[in-house]
Chain A
Amino acid sequence: MTVDEKAAPLGVSIPAPPSRLGQTAAAVVVGAVLLASAADLDIDWGEVWSIPGQIQRYGRLMFTDPDWERLPRALFETWRSISMAWLGAILCVVLSIPLGMLAAHGVGPTWLRLTLRAVFAVIRAVPEVIIALLLLTVTGFTPFTGMLALGIAGIGTQAKWVYEAVESIDDGAPEAVVAAGGAIAELARWALWPAVAPALTSFALYRFEINIRTSAVLGLIGAGGIGSMLTNYTNFRQWNTVGMLLVVVITATMIIDATSGRIRRRIMEGAKQ
């Protein structure tokens, strides 16, 4: 197979390109579903072109002269949202670590593992807002409700991360503990915990970052915090206050993301060494 053994002249021996029928068909189906969905939506597509203008107009109303006089109140409400997010994250992590560990392969019995995983899947599928709506009847329109909703709604995903992390660790350490005659609690404490602690700490911080966003959402249905303030002033159409609130939300979220992200990276890098 060197260059001497020239193949037949070009144009004769070029293999036929493979059939792309499957790909083309898939693309056509996806495109058709998209177009049909778009056409059936109750949207006047001709109106879409006016949206950039609209957004510009309202953007000017919001941001040319933000209402900084209400900033102290906004910061108070921001702290309320952060508090909900933080306490919700603690609640969520405290509940999901033991539950998640029990749901991991080779820790608890099979029936327990399957039941727990089903519960997690259901919680994942229910939106936080729905859980908050249920809790409202018990604890009222309070930040406490928001915190509980965040804590419970997060379990579905958080516990899944926990059992996935536990299952991804090397089998050596758990075996050593089992060989030494350890019980489940000892197994968890001496073999699982050291191996997964950095990942779990990182996940916990990540839960906090997620909760920061969700807490603003819960505020919209009356759980208090910056989200509630934002809904109120949007309903009052006080655009310059809305603009200020948006600036506060974006700044606070970005600062927390950056800080928490940096800590997470340090934890994970520390774990690698």
Chain B
Amino acid sequence: MTDQHEVGPGSDVSGPTSWSIHLNDVSVTYPNGTTALRNVSLDIPAGEMVSIVGLSGSGKSTLIRVMNGLVPVTTGTVAVGPHEVTHLRGRQLRQLRGHIGMIFQGFNLAERTSVFRNVMVGRFADTPTYRTLLGVSSERDRDLVFAGLDSVGMLDKVWTRASDLSGGQKQRVAIARALAQGPSVMLADEPVASLDPPTAHSVMNDLRHINGERGLTVLVNLHLIDLAQQYTTRMIGLRAGEIVFDGPAAEATESNFEHIYGRPIKSNDKLAN
């Protein structure tokens, strides 16, 4: 509990730089023996908007989680920006995670507490633990929380209980939480799978704006092929833990998708059917 407030690159949130991501021959085998990723190598330049497409169980979630070290790799190396994720432990790993925003399919908000406290979670990496323990936040942290909420249009809900929000609003709060980190990379794990079509489009729009205006590298896991084509520039197809497609999203054909999914395309593989 002696974490110090480090004024390093982590606190340089005013003008976030965008980071590139490099995976070199990454494999992940879980303790129960399941192999989720097999020899994946990947180069994502800074500022790109990439979708990762595949069936559930194809390794999409694992792929995105090796990038911030939530899932440790079994073999291979992962580099995000100037950091070698696989070598980081403890505080250094937390500092790195502070630079990587992440949003989830289930929003992952603490429902019983306010939007404000949920977004404050995004400031953890730059907050000394004793401050969190005492429950006092700095002026600057509060400003970043308000700014994050403001940029997704949720500032008026800042004191609302998270459980009182709609699904789309919850995902916006989750995006604000990630933005409050002042991230250099944004990861999104099936961000619209729990949302209805109009809300799904507006959340995807928010992500596109984050990519466009802030120039952040954005990685989105999707299982809906039309969303991938509409919102992202590059698409990576994953099947049984291996990359089976990597190219411009717009140019992917029906047969490319059938190859990724290993079966004919069905109507529920698309949002607008």
Contacts and interface: CB of A to CB of B under 8 A. Distances in A.
Q: Do chains A and B touch in the complex (CB under 8 A)?
A: yes
Contacts, number: 39
Nearest to B150: A7
Given A2-B206, A3-B206, A10 B150 contact: yes
Nearest to B209: A3
Nearest to B213: A3
Interface string A37-67: 0000000000000000000000000000000
A168 B222 CA distance: 42
A9 to B, nearest CB: 9
B151 interface: yes
Given A6-B150, A10-B147, A15 B209 contact: no
B11 to A, nearest CB: 19
A161 B87 CA distance: 54
B102 interface: no
A6 B153 CA distance: 7
Main secondary structure of the interface of A (DSSP, over half): loop
Given A2-B209, A14-B146, A7 B155 contact: yes
Interface string B198-242: 000010011001100100000000000000000000000000000
A76 B206 CA distance: 73
B166 to A, nearest CB: 12
Most B C-beta atoms less than 10 A away, residue of A4, A5, A13, A15? A15
B164 interface: no
A17 B159 contact: yes
Contacts of A4: 209
A3 B211 CA distance: 11
A2 B210 contact: no
A15 B158 contact: yes
B146 A5 contact: no
B152 A3 contact: yes
Nearest to B143: A10
B43 interface: no
Interface string A120-138: 0000000000000000000
Contact of A1 (B143, B153, B159, B213): B153
Contacts of B143: 10
What interface size band does chain B fall in? 10 to 19
Interface string A1-37: 1111111001001110110000000000000000000
Contact of B153 (A5, A17, A18): A5
Interface string B131-170: 0000000000001001100111101101100000000000
Nearest to B172: A1
A14 B158 CA distance: 8
B202 A2 contact: yes
B158 A7 contact: no
Nearest to A5: B153
Contact of A6 (B151, B156, B158): B151
Nearest to B212: A3
Nearest to A9: B150
A17 B156 CA distance: 11
Interface in A212-250: none
Contacts of A7: 150, 153, 155
Contacts of B202: 1-2
A3 B155 contact: no
A3 B158 contact: no
A10 B206 contact: no
Nearest to A7: B150
A18 B159 contact: yes
Interface string A87-127: 00000000000000000000000000000000000000000
Given A3-B153, A3-B209, A14-B155, 6 more contacts: A2-B205, A3-B152, A10-B146, A13-B155, A15-B159, A17-B159
19 contacts: A1-B172, A1-B202, A2-B205, A3-B151, A3-B152, A3-B153, A3-B209, A3-B213, A4-B209, A6-B150, A6-B151, A7-B155, A10-B143, A10-B147, A13-B156, A14-B146, A15-B158, A15-B159, A17-B159
